[in-house]
Structure 1
Amino acid sequence: MYEDVERAYQQLVRAVTRFNATWPSLVVRGKVWRLPVLQEQRTPDIIDVSEVANDEIIEVTLEAIGTFERDLGQAPGTVMRLPGYFQLSESVLPLALEINTAKKKVLDAIEAVRVAQNLTPEMRPRIMRRALGPGFSTKQLQRTLHAFDGAPRRISFTWAGHTTGNEKISVAKIRLQLINESEARAASEEIPVHDTPEYLDLRAINHLADTEVLIKHKSVAPHPRCIIWFGEKGERWDATIKANLPVFVLAGELEMKLSKLKSFNKAARGEKRRDIKARDEVWPQRDIYMPTAGGQAPVQEKHEVDDQVPSTYRLSGVIYQRQ
Structure 2
Amino acid sequence: MKFSVVIPLYNKARYVHGAVRSVLAQSLPPHEVIVVDDGSSDYSAEVVQTITDPRVRLIRQPNSGVSAARNRGIAAATGDWIAFLDADDWYHPDMLAALKQAHEACPEAGMLGTQTRTMTNTLGDPDPWPVTDGFVEVEVVEDLRQRWMRTAPFNSSSVAIRTSLLREMGTCFIEGESHGEDLDLWFRAADRTLVAVVNAPFAAIRVLPDSLSRRTPPATPPEYLKRMRDAARSGEIPPERRRSALWFVGQQEVTMARETLGGGNRLAALRFLWDARYVAFTRRWQLTLLMALFMPSHAAETFQRWRLRSAEAFSPEGPVQ
TM-score tier by shorter-chain length is under 0.3
Instruction: Give the TM-score, by structure 2 length.
Output: 0.24
Q: Which has the higher helix share?
A: 2
Q: RCO greater where, 1 or 2, for CA within 8 Å and sep 6 or more?
A: 1
Q: TM-score, normalised by structure 1?
A: 0.24
Bigger Rg over Cα? 1
